[in-house]
Structure 1
Amino acid sequence: MELIKQIKVNIDYILMLVDKYKKTNCEDKTILGTINKSIDASMSLRSKKDLINQFVNQLNTTVDVETNWHEFVEQKKQEELQYLINEENLKPDETKSFVTDAFRDGVLKTTGTSIDDILPKMSRFGNKNNSNRADKKKAVIDKLQQLFEKYTH
């Protein structure tokens, strides 16, 4: 009977590989291949692939990988949240509070009045010149879910 070695692929494993890559002065491309294969094999990491690759590309050999990762993730999360707020014309303070609560609670609540509180003022009835509130709400929820999945540890 053959035993198959199985490694639980999570962000800690990926960061260990990134640290190993850093120790080769960011030159061992086989480690990069292993990182990408590992991400592709993990359902929970696929939404984070671009984020991880951006981190690896900006990596230098003098930083602590884990500390730099957490700082990098927080910076990117704030940038993407601000972009979403601007793109969808959301209420900034309410949206930031909503997202902070979602990360704290570990769940993005898409029902109730909280989600309505972040949306811009608009008619509850659609017309030819603008999309209706339900379409806007769905689009915002989809984008918030993508953000939440990407930045949830």
Structure 2
Amino acid sequence: MEKLRALCAPGKMPDTDTRKKNFVELYSEVIRLISFLDMFDEFAEDTTLSKRDFQDYQAVYLELYEEKRGDNRDEPVDITDDLVFEIELVSRLSVNVDYILELIAELRDDDGNLTEENRERIQREIDSSEKLRLKKDLIDKFIEQQDGDTEPGEFYSLVERECRRAVNNLIESERLKRPEALQVFAKGLVDMMVPLSGLTVSAMLPPMRRFGAKKDDDIGKKDRVVDAMNRLIATYGDSMNPSSLLEDL
């Protein structure tokens, strides 16, 4: 832990590519060790790394992972080609959305409001989880619309509304065949991905133009649509009932 703290304070991004690389390697070792020690009861109360510092370091780790994948840039930027991120272990050590919903219900006042301190606590939980980072906007919207009677389960109604809106926008913007597109997306929610190959995926696309300046755009449409659907599945997939989408058919 001393080496990790020497590289950067909790929640602070290392300031050079070399330090970023060293941070990823060190933090990967830390979470592998934590995952191993979790099997032994005698280490349950270990305070070498506080929960807050753990969350802050993990948030930096995930930000570097997203940077390496190129999620936040037009072009991917690798810190180094041989870095290995322990994302499966990160997911195993992170809280899920139900925990966050219960935490929000526990911390809010009678009017549904959260103090700044409690908002920061929830934000640290979100930032330290790969899956919750994808749901940040949804959780923020849920917090903003709360009142004293809001139940945690209402979050899933919000997810369904936002997912339907996003899918409908995709169908309209890409001129997809609506019934086929909804069936492909619903199946993708079950499988947690839409494959690029398959007749059902091709069936939802509009007829390809044989001539004209937009022919090249048509050729790339399938890749673009499948990528967009998989991004929506990553955000909504584990909180959305696939069969509810088919009610629109």
State the TM-score bracket (shorter-chain normalisation).
0.7 to 0.9
Q: Are 1:122 and 1:133, in contact at CA under 8 Å, matched by a contact in 2?
A: yes
What do you get for the CA RMSD once the two structures are aligned?
Answer: 2.2
Equivalent-residue separation in structure 1 for 2:158 and 2:134 (angstroms): 16
**Corresponding residue number in structure 1 for 2:74:** none
**Corresponding residue number in structure 1 for 2:221:** 136
1:8-47 residue pairs with structure 2 within 5 A?
Answer: 8-23=94-109, 25=111, 26-47=113-134
Equivalent-residue separation in structure 2 for 1:108 and 1:133 (angstroms): 19
Paired-residue identity, %: 26
Note the C-alpha offset of 1:147: 0.6
Deviates more, 1:110-119 or 1:141-150: 110-119
Give the alignment partner of residue 137 of structure 2, picking from 50, 54, 67: 50
Q: Which amino acid aligns with 2:123?
A: N
Equivalent-residue separation in structure 2 for 1:91 and 1:41 (angstroms): 38
Q: Deviations over 1:106-141 (max 9, x none)?
A: 332222122111111113x67424434331112111
Compute the TM-score of the two structures, normalised by the length of structure 2. Answer: 0.55
SS at match of 1:152: helix
Correspondence 1:105 to 2:174? no
Equivalent-residue separation in structure 2 for 1:64 and 1:151 (angstroms): 19
Compute the TM-score of the two structures, normalised by the length of structure 1. Answer: 0.86
Q: Which amino acid aligns with 1:144?
A: M
Q: Which amino acid aligns with 2:228?
A: K
Equivalent-residue separation in structure 2 for 1:111 and 1:24 (angstroms): 51
Q: Are 2:177 and 2:206, in contact at CA under 8 Å, matched by a contact in 1?
A: yes
Q: Are 1:91 and 1:120, in contact at CA under 8 Å, matched by a contact in 2?
A: yes
Equivalent-residue separation in structure 2 for 1:131 and 1:22 (angstroms): 52
Q: Deviations over 1:72-98 (max 9, x none)?
A: 111111111111111111111111111
**Corresponding residue number in structure 2 for 1:78:** 164
Q: Deviations over 1:20-58 (max 9, x none)?
A: 233453132222111111111111221111111111111
Which stretches in structure 2 are left out of the alignment for 5+ residues? Answer: 1-42, 52-92, 239-249
Distance verdict in 2 for CA 1:41–1:96, change over 3 Å: same
Distance verdict in 2 for CA 1:21–1:108, change over 3 Å: farther
Q: Which amino acid aligns with 1:76?
A: E
Equivalent-residue separation in structure 2 for 1:69 and 1:17 (angstroms): 13
Corresponding residue pairs, total = 151
Equivalent-residue separation in structure 2 for 1:83 and 1:98 (angstroms): 15
**Corresponding residue number in structure 1 for 2:233:** 148
Equivalent-residue separation in structure 2 for 1:131 and 1:29 (angstroms): 50
Which stretches in structure 1 are left out of the alignment for 5+ residues? Answer: none
Q: Which amino acid aligns with 1:61?
A: G
Distance verdict in 2 for CA 1:59–1:126, change over 3 Å: farther
